[in-house]
Amino acid sequence: MRPAMLRVLGFISAVCIYACQPKITQLSNIANTKAEKISSDSADMVFSGDSLNSLGGNVGIWAPTRWQYNPERTRHFKLKHTKLEVSFNWEKQHLNGIATLTMQPYFFPQDSVILDAKGFDLHEIVLVDKISRSLSYTYDGNQIRIGLGKTYTRKDELTLRIRYTAKPNELQTKGSAAITDRRGLYFINPTGEDLHKPRQIWTQGETEASSCWFPTFDAPNVKTTQEIFITVDTAFVSLSNGQLVSSKVNKDGTRTDHWKQDKPHAPYLFMMAIGKYAVIKDKWRDKEVSYYVEPPYAPYARAIFGRTPEMMEFFSNLLDYPYPWDKYAQVVVRDFVSGAMENTSASVFMEQLQVDNRYLLDDNWDNIIAHELFHHWFGNLVTCESWANLPLNEAFATYSEYLWQQYKYGQDAADEFWQSEWEQYLNESYTKREPLIRYYYREKEDMFDSHSYAKGGLILHMLRHVLGDDAFFASLRHYLKKHQYGKAEIHDLRLAFEEVTGMDLNWFYDQWFMSPGHPELEVKHGYADGLLTVDVKQVHDTTYTPAVYRLPMMLDYWVNGQKIRQKIEINQREQSFRFAVAQKPDAVLLDGETQLVGIIRHKKTVEEWIYQLKNADKMLARRKALEELQMKTQEITPNHEVLIAATVQALNDHTWQIRQAAVQALEGRDQLEENLIDKIKNMALNDEHSLVRASAVNALSGKIKPSFFINTMKDSSYTVLVNSLYAYANSGGEDAVSYVEQFEGLQNFLVVKTLAEFYSYFKVQNKFDWFVQAMARRNSYELSYLFNYFGSYLSEQPQSVQIAGAKVLADYARRHSNYETRISAYGALVFIDEAPGVKALMEDVRKAEKDQRVLDYYRMMFKSNE
């Protein structure tokens, strides 16, 4: 699974909002209103690894916590086969089901069965035999306890048939960061009332929500083959795991699709998706690959998902294990509760993936697509035996994003990904440091964090560096073959690596998988008498973190233009490394491969940083040098000219990330020299990478005449367009709104959000209808922004408009299916709560609310307003 917030954070904020949005202070201040604070979106934190590096950790905040012990689930039975027959009542949002479960006692004799089944009406439970008979049972709304009437041994097989109604909306649920709800089965726009939304049904099983729609042993260490008969109206397409065996039209005008998967997998990977879809078919080797999108996005489906067969080929070869499932389908659903989910052979994605070709000029969704695909080996073929071992699923899926970037787009792209994952983990580490493998978690949903994902992926990358590519991938192959269609815990992974390499790896696993925290190194180097000395101190807090890390890594230094690479192992709290070198090195770089999950503080001179900027082969090492030099520019220094020259050099770097970093550095300067202006104008118009063009526009904003930006508004990239609109306004273009209005026809969210900000900031008249239309088609994440701008817009409008707007917002606050969206709609009402009737309307909203999370929020907000 890929949590939506993390994904959105990494994607939208890095690519569109922060990296490229200009600094119009007045315009951005509009976001700092009271309503912003209640926005459910917490993605607005901008950070860089270095600014965090200097903060230092506070043990009091991040000390690991021990809750109750969470073991693997005891298996009393082997679940051999699950057959489901389902149909739906859209009005009531019920599923009518018959589940036929075939099982065998695991080892010990059994006379009863306990099944997970959340919030069902049970109609009948039958033991299927030559003469079938009804069984007695008790049910507490969560689990069914069924008496079998006799004792079965491990040689016996038995089949139960359960007729039930699942009522997912009547469940009491509690959300988490990764999955915002746990209903298992979701009806979208069930009665068709919402004209802007399709009718859909979809499921989300992870972690243990599949038992909200069928009875099962709902644990990741259970594996079963499956078949599902789905009866729907003929207007709908259905999708499930495995192959479509048959599709039959019934007399009553419905259709029954029979999906079957004869390779076993865990119950949390069961899925269904039902909706009106365009299905675009592709192929990998002899297997069908398909993309299910809403019909308007059919023309873009290949541009979004079309690299899937190449990924399947790449991963199959890398793992020496061909993609093991019957087919691979990918479906986009509305209002998804997470970013994406790797249901076996049928992954589900959030609607943000439905974009047009113009959007794809700035970035693509390859990472999330690779992530879900790679789970089909790590997660679906070999499954973590318990949620405590979740990194066995998520660390690998996250690392696959690196692997794909490296293979498809090159080392710089992979390093960019590495850096963003490192920052994500580091950001989390200031409030939370836990071992990766955690048996003492409070809630299983807490496992879905930047430890299991980001840090886990980075640790695998370090392991690859420790062992080398051959040993690393050979060990992965061995692990997969040894545990295929089974389950694993972290020691199984370690043992697989030890069996292949003959090495003891306890130290690595203990240090990285079983302990919290990360090392912090202070590094100094000097040269005297033909010796280069590099002093390394491990200075991290050791209250919980290993006192001394064992860190094999590379040390690079340059002499006479030649890079010399030394392999070293840091394994003491304080250590000195000495190398005989004929003359003083031009630069020294520890961890030149940029693989350490830790902080390195290395003091260097301006000359050494400049040398590193010019000569390091890793983009991240060059960018780090540039950042250090920029910090030095702000200090009073006699080398100002030298530093400017270094920036100019970076503007010409062959790597776009360095050009972008260099041009971004100029944004903060009040003025630019004439020759720099020409250079950056040229970059704004002609750089081959759209995000460099976008940053160049920002760097020029407010420093040249507005007319220049009329040209860059014609750019094919949405990001360049949007930045140009801000730059035009910021450079004194008084008719900015008339330019902005020209783009009302575009559906891209970045554009829509920009328009909303302009209309709100400039108090443009007669945009009420535009706002209402713009909000109608948007997902929850996007709505949280638009509500805020709309509220702010309304606050400057006549009372009659305010009252009309309040009705629109109150409608969202009452009726939207996502509870966070209801909160942000309510929050926007605060802008206009002085208008007649609005306070009463807000009270109505509060009274109509049933969700405890929202009610708690209203109570809190009410207090703070008093």
Q: In this complex, which beta carbon is closest to Zn ion, that of residue 1 or of residue 460?
A: 1
> Least distance in Å: CB of 401 to Zn ion?
10
Instruction: Output the smallest distance, CB 380 to Zn ion, in A.
Output: 11
- Residues across the chain: 866
Q: Which is nearer to Zn ion, 38 or 370 (by Cβ)?
A: 370
Which CB sits closer to Zn ion, 374 or 497? Answer: 374
CA distances for 556 relative to 398, 538, 616, 682, angstroms: 29, 19, 9, 36
Nearest one of 788, 777, 781 to 827, comparing CA atoms? 788
* Cα first-last separation, the chain: 41
Q: C-beta of 371: minimal distance to Zn ion in Å?
A: 5
Looking only at residues 726 through 765 of this chain, which bind Zn ion when binding is defined by CB under 5 A? none
Helix, strand, coil in percent for the chain, rounding step 5: 40, 20, 35
- Residue in 564, 646, 635, 637 with CA at minimum distance from that of residue 613: 646
User: What's the min distance (Å) between Cβ of 351 and Zn ion?
Assistant: 18
- Residue with smaller CB distance to Zn ion, 115 or 397: 397
Shorter beta-carbon distance to Zn ion: residue 394 or 449: 394
Nearer to Zn ion, 273 or 397 (CB): 397
Min separation Cβ 221 and Zn ion, Å: 18
CA dist., res. 192 & res. 448, Å (int): 34
CB of 63 to Zn ion, least distance (A): 27
851 Cβ contact partners less than 8 Å away, ≥ 6 residues apart = 819, 822
Of the pair 353, 835, the CB lying nearest Zn ion is at: 353
**Which residue number, 1 or 480, has a Cβ lying nearer to Zn ion?**
1
- The footprint of Zn ion on residues 431-490 (CB under 5 A) is none
Structure token pair of residue 322: 């061909």
CB of 417 to Zn ion, least distance (A): 15
- Min dist. Cβ of residue 384 to Zn ion (A): 11
Between 394 and 520, name the residue whose CB sits nearer to Zn ion. Answer: 394
Q: If 0-12 CB within 10 Å is exposed, 13-18 middle and 19+ buried, where does residue 336 land?
A: buried
Structure-block tokens of residue 135: 């069984």
| Residue 268: CB minimum distance to Zn ion, A | 12
Q: Based on CB atoms, which residue is closest to Zn ion, 294 or 449?
A: 449
Please state the closest distance from residue 280 (CB atom) to Zn ion, in A.
24
**Total binding residues toward Zn ion, as defined by CB under 5 A:** 3
Residues with Cβ within 8 Å of 418's Cβ and at least 6 positions away in sequence, in order, are: 402, 458, 461, 594, 595, 620
User: Closest approach of Cβ 379 to Zn ion, in Å?
Assistant: 7
Please provide the DSSP assignment of 117-147 as one string.
Answer: --SEEEEEEEEESSS-EE--EEE-SSEEEEE
Helix (H) or strand (E) holding 498: helix 490-501
Nearest distance from C-beta of residue 398 to Zn ion, angstroms: 7
Which CB sits closer to Zn ion, 385 or 394?
Answer: 394
Cβ at position 355, least distance to Zn ion in Å: 21
Q: Where are the alpha helices (DSSP H) in 573-618?
A: 606-615
Nearer CB in complex with Zn ion: 401/412: 401
Nearest to 226 by CA among 97, 79, 82: 82
**β-strand partners of 475:** none
By beta-carbon proximity to Zn ion, the closer residue of 397 and 590 is: 397
CB-closest chain residue to Zn ion: 397
Q: How many CB atoms lie within 10 A of CB 122?
A: 14
Structure tokens at 5: 């917030």
What type of residue is 320? Answer: D
Strands 346-349 and 328-332, how do they pair? parallel
Which residues in 366-405 contact Zn ion (CB under 5 A)?
A: 394, 397
Of 784, 630, 660, nearest to 720 (Cα)?
Answer: 660
Residue-by-residue DSSP string for 380-415: TTEEESSGGGTHHHHHHHHHHHHHHIIIII-HHHHH
Question: Which CB, 371 or 703, lies closer to Zn ion?
Answer: 371
Site membership for Zn ion, residue 1 (CB under 5 A): yes
Give 102's strand partners: 81, 159
CB of 178 to Zn ion, least distance (A): 9
Closest Cα partner for 592 from 728, 470, 465? 465
Kindly tell me the sign of the dihedral angle through the C-alpha atoms of 42, 45, 49, 52.
negative
- As a dihedral over the C-alpha atoms of residue 561, residue 562, residue 567, residue 572, rounded to 10 degrees, the angle is -30
Looking at residues 650 to 679 of the shown chain, list those that interact with Zn ion (rule: CB under 5 A): none
Q: Is 784 helix (H, G, I), strand (E, B) or coil?
A: helix
14-53 residues in contact with Zn ion (CB under 5 A) are none
Binding site for Zn ion (CB under 5 A): 1, 394, 397
